Amino acid sequence: MSQLVQEHRSLWRLRKHYLKDAKNCKKCKDLWQKLIKEKEEQIKLISEILKSHNL
């Protein structure tokens, strides 16, 4: 459960700060968007596993 919270916090930082700070740099925006998608997948996987254990 703690890891899920950490992943959500990381995702929030990626969206709120890093992507915003990338401004007009396409390479940076692409990187942060890729990491956001990966983080969303990790959150989904962790959530599914926790649900299967009724947590």
* Domain assignments of the chain as residue spans, ordered by start: 2-48
Helix axes 26-52, 2-13, angle to 10 degrees: 160
**pLDDT at 55 > cutoff 80:** no
pTM: 0.86
* Segment 18-52, tens digit of pLDDT: 999 998 999 999 999 999 999 999 999 999 999 99
Burial of residue 49 (number of CB atoms within 10 Å: 0-12, 13-18, 19+): exposed
